[in-house]
Amino acid sequence: MGFTHKILWMSDLHQTVSGQVEGVNSRTRLRQVIDQMNRYHPDAACCVVSGDLTDTGTPEEYAALTDRLASLNTPLLPMIGNHDNRENLLAALPYSGSGLESYYQYRFDMDENVSLLCLDTALPGSDAGAFDPVRLDWLAQRLHDTADRRVLVFTHHPPGPLGLGLLDDMPLLDHQPFIDLIANAPQVEHLFCGHVHRPVSGVIGGVPFTALRSIAHQTRPPHQTWDWSNFVAHDERPQYAVILIGPDRIIVQMTDIEDPA
C-alpha cells in the first residue's frame, strides 16, 4: 500500500531579528530544519507552520522570517499563534486558498479528496486562544462543504488541557463548541496543535490529535517544578513532523533536527 500525500509540519518558530530567544538561536534552527526538509522530503506537497512564527509579531521580525523561509522548496501554509500579530502577518505572508476575511483562517485543498483547515485561534493580548462565533460559523460551513472529503484540522492552541501543568492555563478558551463541532464531523480524521512545545498525542472528543516540539525552545515536562518566573528552556532537540496519508490511515512521524545549534 502506498501513501498518496506527504505533508511537512512544524510549529512555534519564534523568529526574532537577532535569532536569539530563550537561550537558543531560533534563526539557525529554522535554517537547519529547512535544510533537512529540502534534503529528505522534496516530494512533500506542502509545509504547515502552526503558529508563533515570530516572537513578538513586529514587521521587522516578519521581514526576517520571510527572508529565512525563502529557501524552503515546499509550498508554505503559515498560521497564526499568540506571539503573532494578525495585521502584520497578513501583510507579510498572505495565505493561499479560501479564507475568512479579517482573520488568518483558511481552507486548502490538496486535491479532490483531501482538505486542510488552518484555523485562527489567536486572542490579541492573551497567551490563551479564542474561537468566537464568526470563526466557529466559518468552520461549521467548511465542514458542511467537505462532508465527502477527508479533512485534517490544524490549530495553534489545543482545545483544552493536556495535563501539562502551567501550559494548561492558556489553551483554547471556551473550547467545547469547537470540540462538539469536529466530533460530529466524521470526515475530520486528525487534529494537529502547536503552542505547547511538547510532543503529545491522544484523543479529544473522539478525534485523534498530535502536538509537537517547537523549532526554537522546548517547555519543561509537567513533572518538573517550575513557573514562568524561573522558566529555563528544556534541553531537548527541536522537531518537525512528516504526515503521510494513505487510503486507510494517517501516519505522523516526529523527526528531530540533526545536531541542532
Domain regions of the chain by residue span: 5-256
Return per-residue pLDDT of the chain as tens, 261 residues.
589 999 999 999 999 999 999 889 999 999 999 999 999 999 999 999 999 999 999 999 999 999 999 999 999 999 999 999 999 999 999 997 789 999 999 999 999 999 999 999 999 999 999 999 999 999 999 999 999 999 999 999 999 999 988 889 999 999 999 999 999 999 999 999 999 999 999 999 999 999 999 999 888 777 766 666 665 666 788 999 999 999 999 999 999 987 766
Work out the angle at residue 193's Cα, subtended by the Cα atoms of residues 182 and 117, and round it to the nearest 5 degrees. 50
What is the distance, to the nearest Å, from the Cα of residue 221 to the centroid of all Cα atoms in its chain?
20
pTM of the model: 0.95
Per-residue buried b or exposed e for 235-256, using 16+ beta carbons within 10 Å of the residue's own CB? ebebbbbbbbbeeeebebeebe
Architecture category of domain 5-256 in CATH:
4-Layer Sandwich (3.60)
Residue 50's nearest CA partner among 249, 241, 230, 223 is: 241
Distance CA 49, CA 76 (A): 8
Residue 27's nearest CA partner among 195, 238, 236 is: 238
Residues recorded for the chain: 261
80 close to 44: Cβ distance less than 8 angstroms? no
